[in-house]
Structure 1
Amino acid sequence: MQQRDPYQHHVNPERYAELLEVKAQRLRDLFADFNPPSLQVHASAPSHFRLRAEFRLWHDGDRCFYAMFEPGDKSKVYEVTEFPIASRLINELMVRLLDDIQPNELLRRKLFQVEFLTTLSGDALITLIYHKPLGDEWRAEAEALQARLGFPIVGRSRKQKLVLERDYVNEALQVDGKTLHYRQIEGGFTQPNGEMNQQMLSWARSAAAEINHSDNNGENSSDNSSEPPSDLLELYCGNGNFSMALADTFRRVLATEISKTSVAAAQVNIADNQLDNVVIARLSSEEFVQALRGERTFERLSGVDLSSYDFRTVLVDPPRAGLDDESVKQVQGYDNIIYISCNPNTLHDNLQVLCNTHEIKGFALFDQFPYTDHIETGVILTRKNPQ
């Protein structure tokens, strides 16, 4: 067993600017065939930027410790005593939690994984995952631990989830002078780099402002009102990360998401942000197209008059596989596309088709995961010949 973090030699804040430029150049080279505008590069904080982390808990006799493995080689176990890419709160809780459970055989026994979820606003949630059923004795000890740590704990084992207080954190993001409130569910998807998420939301709001300015000054505008002239369709909306931030930049927002847990969180976020122009529907992209065409009706769209919407802009934030062929055809039907991608290669594939009808007006890199090869990309496209 090695006494070091296997990622430590990759995390060098002094070289961060240099490493980020390498990523930026890779992105410029990959998309050069589209002749995009100048790349906007959004830098992360060099350390303590990650708001969630998970660790194996390794047992050596009566002693346990956080463990990670050499990438690609799980035969080498490394003890982790600190994690500089994680938030300061995660680093603090790592120490406090381990010190507390180390002498407690009931909490320590068969505990094999610990997950931390934190926020920029100072909230946290700890999930303890076991290879044993969790009973009343465990609950009593875990509740005492929760009281000492001051943050909620969730216990998990096979086919079992025990929520002692709550299974979510409450986040408050600062975007363009606005405070946006988000409930983030344990086990659900959230952007791991909160400060970068704030930059990404601000970028999307700026894109929406340009789109609406163009619409207000185009032939589609019926008056000189400053009110947003059209509605936003958002696909793959998760817990409404973009929906909440863009609500005041469009007349109305209709967002779709297939995950029941994410939709439930999004409904809470709508209420917490006091929004009356956002609707979240639990539909897949394919189901929404069927509803929009009148091919099928869905109880989940009860009370929503799709014919009353004027969708000129669509926002997509798909998984790493990108948009499938049918979804690409669907988004081509809108004048403006805001595309957030976690995989530049599948984005490039999608643009091969999208750029037949649209041209790239905005091009951005968001460094969600410093010191890795991962690149988050934002692209704004507008129709070459608006309808």
Structure 2
Amino acid sequence: MSTVVNPHTYQAQLDTKARQLQDTFAPFNPPQLDVFASEPDHYRMRAEFRVWHQGDDLYYIMFDQATKQQYRVDHFPVASRLINQAMPLLLEAIKPDPVLRRNLFQVDFLSSLSDELVISLLYHRQLDEAWQQGMQGVREQLQQQGIHASIIGRAKKQKVVLGQDHVIEKLQVAGKELIYQQVENSFTQPNGRVNELMLSWALDATQDASGDLLELYCGNGNFSLALAPNFNRVLATEISSSSVKSAQYNIAANHIDNVTILRMSAEEFTQAMRGVREFRRLQGIDLASYECNTILVDPPRAGLDEETVKLVQEYDNILYISCNPETLRQNLETLSQTHDISRFALFDQFPYTHHMEAGVYLTRK
């Protein structure tokens, strides 16, 4: 497959990524690159597999994105040790039961550094009481093997939860433990240890900031909560209702009182700030009372749209977390007209692949 896990070659591959990132952004005259390495194996907290039926046998498969060729997967060193422990035990428990096997086409795993696990099974049929009884037996079998997992069955317009639909992650950030609810089928950072490093870097980069923080694309509050100690208040936006719900849970769980989450897209918030549109969701929120000198953006691979880039440019300090160096470079063509890069980082979320997660902290010229 395209991802070959070999801890002996990891450092060399990471060095290559660092050189590529430095060369790509050399025109912007960034400072020395901070490089944050991943664990060389068992670093990914999420994994998903298609299920292949062959007679009485069942096994996991994955597809090579380039060639579309399928590969059987019996163990997956990219994924956490907990996922690897659960993978074969789950199939062994399902195989003998035709009710549990029938029309099963995918299995997703969500684990945490705190050793919680949610397993989601996707079916091309509706799930009945017999399925629930059978799958409850699977949960008990897993528990006997030392794996305490929640199980979710998904079919068209159907979601059956045995246990809970989330894990509670506990991250260590700058000597402090932060609690995050991470819901299955919602975005969360895939590499738990690198996420801890990324949050610690962001906290250090903004330690001298003043006033309030505005965050766009906040997800479940991953950055919002970690950075809250550096600011008077944090105002954060997110379009996904499930992520907003988790963010509210996380605010309460961490006893944080200076973070407000709005369910809005970055584009909608830009319109609100410009006075182009009014939103009921902003009732009771006095945007004018915020003194946001710093803005944090963690956009999808497409980067920031043109209007949002212009909005971001109005802030003295910009913390930009990027999962796509190409769109980051494009956005920096505009942002560098008014700001300089004062901190520059590579977070190796996806070892052994070409993917690079970068962080830049920009200050006004």
By the TM > 0.5 criterion, same fold? Answer: yes
Deviations 1:24-54 (A, max 9, x none): 1110110111111011111000000000000
Q: 2-side partners of 1:77 and 1:172: how far apart?
A: 35
- Distance in 1 (CA, whole Å) between partners of 2:249 and 2:347 is 27
Whole-angstrom CA distance in 2 between matches of 1:162 and 1:310: 45
Structure 2 residue matching 1:174: 3-state secondary structure: strand
Residue 315 of structure 2 is aligned to residue 321 of structure 1: no
What is the rounded CA distance, in whole Å, between the counterparts of 2:64 and 2:270 in structure 1? 44
Distance 1:12 1:137 in 2: 43
Q: Which residue of 2 aligns with 1:33?
A: 27
| Superposition CA RMSD, Å | 1.2
Structure 2 residue 76 is matched with structure 1 residue 83:
yes
CA contact (8 A) 2:324 2:356 kept: yes
1:332 aligns with 2:330: no
SS of aligned partner of 1:374: coil
Report the CA distance between 1:7 and its aligned residue.
4.7
Question: 1:104 aligns to what?
Answer: 97
Shift of 1:295: 4.1
Structure 2 residue 179 is matched with structure 1 residue 186: no
| Aligned equivalent of 2:195 | 197
- Which residue of structure 1 lines up, in the alignment, with residue 116 of structure 2? 123
Q: Which amino acid aligns with 2:111?
A: T
Deviations 1:241-270 (A, max 9, x none): 000101111100000011111111111111
d(CA) in 2 for partners of 1:191, 1:38 = 25
Q: Which moved more, 1:197-206 or 1:140-149?
A: 140-149
Q: Write out aligned runs for 1:9-48 (5 A).
A: 10-48=4-42
In 1, Cα distance between equivalents of 2:240 and 2:357: 22
Q: Per-residue CA shift, 1:267-319, capped at 9, x if unaligned?
A: 11111111110000001122222323444332222222111110000000000
Go from structure 1 to structure 2 and tell me whether the alpha carbon gap of 1:70 and 1:290 turns closer, same or farther (over 3 Å shift): closer
- Matched residue SS, 1:73: coil
Letter of the 1:53 partner, please give it.
A
Deviation, 1:184, is: 0.6
In structure 2, C-alpha distance between the alignment counterparts of 1:109 and 1:232, rounded to whole Å? 50
1:65 is the counterpart of 2:59: yes
Letter of the 2:262 partner, please give it: A
Work out the CA distance in 2 between the residues paired with 1:64 and 1:100.
11
* 1:12 maps to amino acid: N
1:324-372: per-residue Cα shift (whole Å, max 9, x none)?
A: 1101100000000000000001100100110000001010000000000
What's the counterpart of residue 92 of structure 1?
85
**What SS is found at the alignment partner of 1:232?**
strand
Deviates more, 1:330-339 or 1:148-157: 148-157
Paired letter, 2:247: A
Question: Which residues in structure 2 correspond to 1:1-387 (within 5 Å)?
Answer: 6-7=1-2, 10-74=4-68, 76-149=69-142, 150-210=148-208, 212=209, 229-384=210-365
User: How far apart, in 2, do the equivalents of 1:283 and 1:177 lie?
Assistant: 32
Q: Which runs of 5+ in 1 are unaligned?
A: 1-5, 213-228
* CA distance in structure 2 between the partners assigned to 1:306 and 1:171 by the alignment: 32
SS in 1 for 2:76: coil
In structure 1, how many angstroms separate the alpha carbons of the residues matched to 2:63 and 2:344?
36
Residue deviations 1:148-191 (CA, integer Å, cap 9, x gap): 32211110112221122221111010111111111111110000
Paired positions, count: 360
SS in 2 for 1:359: strand
In 1, Cα distance between the equivalents of 2:181 and 2:6? 32
Name the SS for the 2:171 alignment partner: strand
The amino acid across from 2:184 in the alignment is E
In the TM superposition, residue 67 of structure 1 has moved relative to its aligned partner by 1.0
1:144 is displaced (CA, Å) by: 2.0
Q: Which moved more, 1:311-320 or 1:279-288?
A: 279-288
CA 1:7–1:346 in 2, change beyond 3 Å: closer, same or farther?
A: closer
Identical positions, percent: 58
Tell me how far apart the structure 1 counterparts of residues 240 and 247 of structure 2 sit (CA, whole Å). Answer: 11
Deviation at 1:70, TM superposition (A): 3.2
Aligned AA (2:59): F
Q: What is the distance in 2 between the residues matched to 1:148 and 1:252? A: 47
